[in-house]
A and B are shown apart, each in its own frame.
Chain A
Amino acid sequence: MRGALSSELKVGLFSILVMVVLSFMTFKIGGLSLNDETGYRLYAWFENTAGVDKNTKVKLAGVDAGRVERIELVEDRAKITLRMFPNVSVRSDSGIAVQAHGLLGDKYLAIYGGTPGARFLADGDTIQISRVPTDYDTLITNLAAMSANFAALGDSLNHSIGTEESREAIAQTIQNIRHITDNLNSVITANDNRIAQLMEKVNTLVDKAVSLTDSANGMVTENRQQVSTAFANLSSVSDTFRQKAPQLLDDLSASAAELKKLMAELHGPAVNTAKELEGVAMRAKTTLDSVSRMTERIDKGEGTLGKLVNDEKLYNSVSGAADGIGRQIAKIDRFKTYVEFKGDYMTKASDGKGAFNVRLQPRDDKYYLIGIVRDPVGNTDTKETVTDVGGVVTRTTEKTTETQIEFTAMLARRFADTDVRIGLIESSFGLGADYHASGGNLVFSADAWDFGKDEADSKNPHIKVGLEYRFFQNLFIDAGYDNVFNRKTGGAYIGGGVRFEDEDLKYLMGSLPSIPGK
């Protein structure tokens, strides 16, 4: 009791120690909240803010950029008020997502995806895009639904393949398709170089066409010369082809034969199968929907998935699977391929016109169309025979119109609902446009080519207008008027075809596991 220090002194020293510790902690903690009233406010709307609280961090490019000031429920959505640090700038096209510091870690809000050049958001603005994290239950439910769909698809495939007849038909079909692609492949491989040249020429052409349209107003003599040069080039391309690629033509003939056979099969005994294929297609669609739904979620829950991948020990298998799916989906997302077979009955020529097209679509607003067409009204071949009989020179000009295989190679850009195409149509320079109505199921098309009037009996360029109606996802019918401005060859046409997206093909062509019938 009677120490050297008085009670007052002891209590005083003790209090100072306590105050030092307390103010140290206060300072350390308060470090964040000292900025309370500085900075500016942004808003974001969320469907689900589970795990986000007042003072939850906001990160931009992984760096602390602010914190959540307020969370309130407005109707059935959460309105989040963000207090951004004053020196932080957020692009107006940025999105915001709830992310986690790991599977068990704290949630934070990540601002992402701002593009350079977009304006910066100011105090009081709202971040327009917001993403909600995947919750694992939904993910698992989707996986379950997906596998159920796979099973159902397998069942129905099995069923349709089950009958000897249809199995044969499908096998035949697949073989045909395979044959065609093989042929096409070998053609392309064999003529790699030439096709490259061709494409180069086409490019040149396109360039010129562009410059041509650019200077449409001042289209004077010099320009005309350029155009004729372009056409000259094009002819030389055709010549080159004709002369130097007999093999190619042979192959193409073979493919065409196969195509014809396929068409026949599609119309003939495969009618039953077609119905079944339709069912398969429906299943495929359901599966696709599931996959795309899941892809969407995985995509949205990027952070969580990312963490899943990080947490190898825990969720190795899950993350592996999810990762794989994600990668595949991502690739497919980026690059779409459509394969199209179609046949039209040309009333004027009383003959069929078959086409096989591959559409490569690297982006939503751009695609390449490559194809072969069996044209019953091909180019006119003018053969000049010079006969020298005893000094009398007789010139005989013989025009021949023959059914021939022609090429389609076009570049297309999409503007809103309209595709604009430019390139080779039936081996001749041309332009085209497609207007998509009714959610893309109804397409109105107009094409113009053969400005050189090389086709038989053509006085004017070849103009074709038509309608295409798509049904059951993969089937379509079309009708229209061909070669509008050339009376001799012009006439109505009607037909139909099949169009597969690469995913459909993938599922149809044997990447499906465990189908007992196989």
Chain B
Amino acid sequence: MTSREPRKTVTLLCPVEYLGSLLIPSFSVVGGMIMMLCFTLRYIFTPPFYLRNIFKQMVEIGVNSMPVVLITASFTGAVLALQSHTAFKRFDAETLVGTVVALSMTRELGPVLTGLIVAGRAGAAMAAELGTMRVTEQIDALETLATNPVRYLVVPRFIGGMLMLPALTVLSDGIGIMGGFIVSTRVLGANPTTYMTRTWDFLEMEDIFHGLLKSFFFGAAIALISSYEGFASEGGAEGVGKATTRAVVLSSMAILISDYFLSAWLFK
């Protein structure tokens, strides 16, 4: 594109231009996402509401993600128990394994792992589906049918993400604790009663609710980022593929980065 310009200028401007070529698109991505978020938030509260789409997305994000989330959570709880048992045994503090598993699951691993799984599964699906709709003009078709595509497509995903992530996190907390319990009592020979006492005594509703609040944000972030990437995709199948990849990468990053700030904010 710049081939006709004098070589000197190219060399001189190269770093600046390169930086600009990196930054300006990412600024416009951020700007686009914020705009989409604003529209989405407005549309959530104003009719028309597409309930059927919301249910469909809830199934897609929540129900269909359940098996993989549950399997992951149970093994996470199990390995947490295994590892913390080994460590705590050195301090004669094995009875704290239940507490560690419960706190880790509810505060951190439940929300984050669920978020990452949903980002990889439902987020990718969202970006791919919406991207395809974009490049095959289905989104345009929606508009010509007097249907706001953000309302019709993004809002249900957003709501689905916000509702289903906490729901999945509840299950993942529970299953994770069960996984830790089974490994501790069956494999490591911990006292089941002590384990459960330690689990429930030291766990606070706050831990669970803060975890759920985090996952609520994760759900919103996944839906928003994936929808945006889908909407912004161009260039046929290849573009859709790239959008899908970016959606997963950005969602995962958003989860991990916002997790830090949410934790810092929520758990002070």
Contact = CB atoms under 8 A, between A and B. Distances in A.
Given A21-B174, A24-B174, A10 B91 contact: no
The 5 closest A-B pairs by CB, nearest first: A7-B55, A18-B167, A21-B174, A28-B200, A11-B58
Interface string A4-17: 00111011011101
B220 interface: no
B82 interface: no
B83 to A, nearest CB: 16
A22 B211 CA distance: 12
B91 A104 contact: yes
Interface residues of B, number: 26
Contacts of B208: 22, 25-26, 29
A313 B203 CA distance: 29
Contacts, number: 74
A103 B205 contact: no
A103 B91 CA distance: 8
Contacts of A106: 202
A18 B59 contact: no
B98 to A, nearest CB: 12
A29 B102 CA distance: 11
Nearest to B56: A7
Nearest to A106: B202
B238 interface: no
A31 interface: yes
A10 B92 contact: no
A310 interface: yes
Given A105-B96, A313-B92, A11 B171 contact: no
B167 A15 contact: yes
B229 interface: no
Interface in B180-211: 199-205, 208
Interface residues of A, number: 32
Contacts of B55: 6-8, 11
B7 interface: no
Contact of A55 (B56, B58, B204): B204
Contacts of A10: 58-59, 63
A490 to B, nearest CB: 72
B62 A314 contact: no
Contacts of A28: 199-200, 203
Contacts of B243: none
Interface in A423-456: none
A29 B200 contact: yes
Interface of B: 52, 55-56, 58-59, 62-63, 66, 88, 91-93, 96, 167, 170-171, 173-174, 199-205, 208
A461 interface: no
A269 interface: no
Chain A contact surface mostly: helix
Contacts of B173: 21, 25
A324 interface: no
A103 B92 CA distance: 9
Given A11-B59, A11-B63, A102-B93, A29 B170 contact: no
Contacts of B171: 17-18, 21
Nearest to A8: B55
A515 interface: no
B207 to A, nearest CB: 8
Contacts of B170: 18, 21-22, 25
A105 B58 contact: no
26 contacts: A6-B55, A7-B55, A10-B63, A11-B55, A14-B58, A14-B62, A14-B63, A14-B167, A18-B167, A21-B171, A22-B170, A24-B174, A25-B170, A25-B203, A26-B205, A26-B208, A28-B203, A29-B200, A29-B204, A29-B205, A29-B208, A102-B93, A104-B88, A104-B96, A311-B91, A314-B91
Nearest to A26: B205
Contact of A30 (B59, B91, B167, B205): B205
Interface in A14-46: 14-15, 17-18, 21-22, 24-26, 28-33
Nearest to B199: A28
Interface in A76-91: none
A414 to B, nearest CB: 45
Contacts of A24: 174
A131 B96 CA distance: 26
Contacts of B167: 14-15, 18
Contacts of A13: 63
A31 B197 CA distance: 11
A356 B154 CA distance: 101
A477 B91 CA distance: 57
B66 A14 contact: yes
B66 A29 contact: no
A485 to B, nearest CB: 72
Contacts of A32: 201
A102 B66 contact: no
Contacts of A25: 170, 173-174, 203, 208
Contacts of B93: 102-105
Contacts of B52: 7
Contacts of B199: 28
Contacts of B201: 32, 57
Interface string A304-315: 000000110110
A310 B92 contact: yes
A314 B90 CA distance: 8
A311 B205 contact: no
B174 A102 contact: no
Nearest to A312: B92
Which of B88, B92, B171 has the most CB atoms of chain A within a 10 A radius of its CB? B92
Contacts of B174: 21, 24-25
A375 B58 CA distance: 106
A8 B58 CA distance: 9
